[in-house]
Structure 1
Amino acid sequence: MPVVTHDAMPAGTGLPEGTRVAVVHDWLVTYTGAERVLEQILLMYPQADLFAVCDFLPDDQRGFLGGRRPRTSFIQRLPGARRRYRAYLPLMPLAIEQFDLSGYDLVISSSHAVAKGVLTGPDQVHVSYVHTPIRYAWDLQHQYLRESGLDRGFKGWLARYLLHRIRLWDVRTANGVDVFVANSAYIARRIRKAYGRDSVVVPPPVDVEGFAPAPVREDYYLTASRLVPYKRVDLVVSAFARMPGRQLKVIGTGPEFDRIARLAADHSNIELLGYQDGATLAALMGRARAFVFAAEEDFGITPVEAQAAGAPVIAYGRGGARETVVEGRTGLFFDEQTVDALVEGMERFEAVGVSMSAAQCRDNAERFSVQVFRTAFAAVVRRAMAVDDI
């Protein structure tokens, strides 16, 4: 995890002195993309108090909270919550509504599940940064039920009913948000579908300064992510198994690791590196011929990091990658999540990839820097608070 300096408040947040700020996050269990956004919000508004349904962050990942101890809900104390907090999703709408935020002027929620459902009054401003509407309750419900083994039988019907109730709650609580901020145009469309509301697009902050192109690129491809089903690392590995002349390095761990290891077995061109720290990831990105990304992500931070390291990106052409990769200049897309489509995309890249310079990739990544995020998000909050006459 990058070193964070917590005494640096960016100029231009522009709130009146004495503004009372509450920041609400769904849950704190690890430092990933949503927590990078939270980190910057906390740096921008250092006076803010922090609330979360539960907090099980390891001690070595707590630095980005700046010494805060979040106020948590009753979920924190339920049996087995540390390991199975997601099992309490049906109770989380009730839990998030128990936070008393009446003493705050500004409420900022960082939400991919229930945080946007906090209760606020007419004299409070609620700005909600939405990473996505609840995935498993909306358009990904059927995929979630299949992957959880809940697509049939009594448990399946119970799960469908509970998700139906969560959708009703999710729509109702959208009325309590003054301004929606989406992390991509893709998520803005999801917000419009789910809540019937427009949103301002502010891409999440990417630590582009932590990545740099190496003087010489090497002849291997790289993919890196948590090894879970929707990331489709299995697809990348299966495609390279059919291309023995092309080298692939895979960074990441997760529940899919053993299955992916079996797919890579007997293919000497595929190297599984497991977990690697940030410095190693940056170095490997900086030397890679290209970065391969097969997931349909809401935004997708790693393709931007790869471009910051000068690596073109070969990406599945749906979701946030469409907004972060410039086809023909900083990468190219394949149209289906199939081995054949990815292999064909690799062949196209081999034909034209030499024209994609590290400088072009780096320049494109700069659009998503931390400072760009801070400036854009602060402007949204100022407008919502009617501080600026914009």
Structure 2
Amino acid sequence: MKVAIVHEWLDSYAGSERVLEQMLLCFPDAELFVLCDFLPEGQRGFLHGVVPHTSFLQRMPFARRMFRNYLQLMPIAIEQFEMRGFDLVLSSSHAVAKGVVTGPGTRHVSYIHSPMRYAWDLQGQYLRQSGSEGGLKGAYTRWLLHRLRLWDQASAARPDKLLANSRYIAERIRKTWRRDAEVLHPPVDVAGFPMGTGPRTHFAVASRQVPYKRVELVAEAFRRMPDLRLVVAGDGPSAPLVAKAAEGAPNIQVLGRVPQPRLVELVQTARAFVFAAEEDFGIALVEAQAAGTPLICYGRGGAADIVREGETGLLFAEQSVDSIVGAVRAFVAEENRFQPAACRSNAEDFSEEKFRERLKGAVAA
């Protein structure tokens, strides 16, 4: 079977690249197609020597630093890849990869990380962050996003099968594209977070500090619970807001960004991992479970797929300080119910090995 794998772009090793890595392990002889490849040499190991085919965007002016500015050209670029002769096309898509054009003799299975959020439900946020709310620039950007929505919905009909990385994303696919998708959770390196065996002394939150993560809510909640210790790891644009929420609270330790071994240690020794974001999936949650650590999470998004309510963690209903305080107090009252072995067992269902096995089954079905 001749296989092509289509991925949007390569500039770092992050969540979608973990999926690509497992796809390449499933199909080691596959050819790889990407819009552009600016991946640093030190991060290329997961490609196992595969040299990607790139599009004309690779050669556009200032593409290395500004390839995302060519968003309006990405649908055209993805449609220029020649897919004749392939039995299977496997795409990994959070923007345009699912729009690759295939012939009637080629099966196309697309793994969807998310529909194009900046063109749909996050359009307002995208316009604000890009400074495009008004004037001629705003009018052009709104017209561009309108055109992208039309293309996005039309191209969603091209894959023969859609795979969603969570039930939450499957719901968004149904709402946005009016198509059903089979849920296949993304791969998690559970081996990288061995189960902790020592004493558990604190609650932990570790994430990039950006507005939607709502880390400041967690810090503010623990200000109201001075008898419980919180350790916060991570940095980002919202770091000053988090620091302000923790200011003057001796029970809250804000570490900033920490090395990976220190992060693993923090999670292994935590009584629970607290998470207030609405995520598409939430790899950090599975990593915490792998370390044997229970979860206290906002109940929307991918967390609902991960937490076994009352067994490996608790879900709270609102992104609010009161809701977090209530969930933490409820956890403390019944902490013995949440056993590390059960958390670890839950995490193993999201392992890289399980992902490869399920991906092969979904492609064959």
TM band (smaller chain): over 0.9
Q: 1:204 to 1:153 in 2, by over 3 A?
A: same
Indicate whether 1:40 and 2:22 are aligned.
yes
Q: Which residue of 2 aligns with 1:199?
A: 181
Q: 1:311-366: per-residue Cα shift (whole Å, max 9, x none)?
A: 11010110110010011111111111122221222222221223211011111112
Tell me the TM-score normalised to structure 1 length.
Answer: 0.88
Query: Match of 1:238, as an amino acid?
Result: E
Indicate whether 1:117 and 2:99 are aligned.
yes
Q: 1:163-212: per-residue Cα shift (whole Å, max 9, x none)?
A: 11111101111221011111111111111112221111111111122222
Indicate whether 1:303 and 2:282 are aligned.
no
Shift of 1:144: 3.0
| CA root-mean-square deviation | 1.8
Give the length in aligned residue pairs. Answer: 365
Q: Which residue of 1 aligns with 2:308?
A: 326
Instruction: For 2:237 and 2:37, locate their aligned partners in 1 and report how far apart those are by CA, in whole Å.
Output: 22
From 148, 155, 160, the counterpart of 1:173: 155
Q: 1:337 to 1:81 in 2, by over 3 A?
A: farther
Query: Match of 1:373, as an amino acid?
Result: F
Q: 1:286-330: per-residue Cα shift (whole Å, max 9, x none)?
A: 111110111111111111111111111010110110010011111
Instruction: For 2:298 and 2:178, locate their aligned partners in 1 and report how far apart those are by CA, in whole Å.
Output: 28
From 251, 260, 268, the counterpart of 1:278: 260
Q: 1:360 to 1:117 in 2, by over 3 A?
A: same
Instruction: For 2:54 and 2:241, locate their aligned partners in 1 and report how far apart those are by CA, in whole Å.
Output: 36
Q: 1:351 to 1:46 in 2, by over 3 A?
A: same
Query: Match of 1:85, as an amino acid?
Result: F
Q: 1:46 to 1:215 in 2, by over 3 A?
A: same
Instruction: For 2:364 and 2:133, locate their aligned partners in 1 and report how far apart those are by CA, in whole Å.
Output: 45
Instruction: For 1:77 and 1:270, locate their aligned partners in 2 and report how far apart those are by CA, in whole Å.
Output: 49
Q: Which residue of 1 aligns with 2:137?
A: 155
User: What are the within-5 Å matches in structure 2 for residues 238-257 of structure 1?
Assistant: 238-257=220-239
Q: 1:79 to 1:340 in 2, by over 3 A?
A: farther
Secondary structure of 1:42 counterpart: helix
Q: 1:182 to 1:121 in 2, by over 3 A?
A: same
Q: 1:264 to 1:53 in 2, by over 3 A?
A: farther
User: What are the within-5 Å matches in structure 2 for residues 308-387 of structure 1?
Assistant: 308-383=290-365
Secondary structure of 1:289 counterpart: strand
Q: Which residue of 1 aligns with 2:200?
A: 218
Q: 1:33-85: per-residue Cα shift (whole Å, max 9, x none)?
A: 21111110001100011111222222222111112222222222333433333
Shift of 1:117: 0.8
Shift of 1:153: 4.1
Indicate whether 1:141 and 2:141 are aligned.
no
**Greater CA drift, 217-226 or 106-115:** 217-226
Q: Which residue of 1 aligns with 2:114?
A: 132
Q: 1:121 to 1:273 in 2, by over 3 A?
A: same
Q: 1:350 to 1:152 in 2, by over 3 A?
A: farther
Instruction: For 2:253 and 2:52, locate their aligned partners in 1 and report how far apart those are by CA, in whole Å.
Output: 40
Instruction: For 1:320 and 1:165, locate their aligned partners in 2 and report how far apart those are by CA, in whole Å.
Output: 29
Q: Which residue of 2 aligns with 1:11?
A: none
**Greater CA drift, 364-373 or 136-145:** 136-145
Shift of 1:105: 1.8
Shift of 1:149: 4.0
The answer to whether the 8 Å contact 1:213/1:287 transfers is no
User: What are the within-5 Å matches in structure 2 for residues 54-133 of structure 1?
Assistant: 54-133=36-115
The answer to whether the 8 Å contact 1:117/1:176 transfers is yes
Structure 1 unmatched runs, 5+: 1-18, 384-390
Tell me the TM-score normalised to structure 2 length.
Answer: 0.94
The answer to whether the 8 Å contact 1:27/1:55 transfers is yes
The answer to whether the 8 Å contact 1:217/1:286 transfers is no
Structure 2 unmatched runs, 5+: none
Q: Which residue of 2 aligns with 1:31?
A: 13
**Greater CA drift, 293-302 or 262-271:** 262-271
Q: 1:238-288: per-residue Cα shift (whole Å, max 9, x none)?
A: 322333332222222333334433443333332233333433322221111
From 282, 288, 295, the counterpart of 2:270: 288
**Greater CA drift, 238-247 or 226-235:** 238-247
Secondary structure of 1:296 counterpart: coil
The answer to whether the 8 Å contact 1:329/1:356 transfers is yes
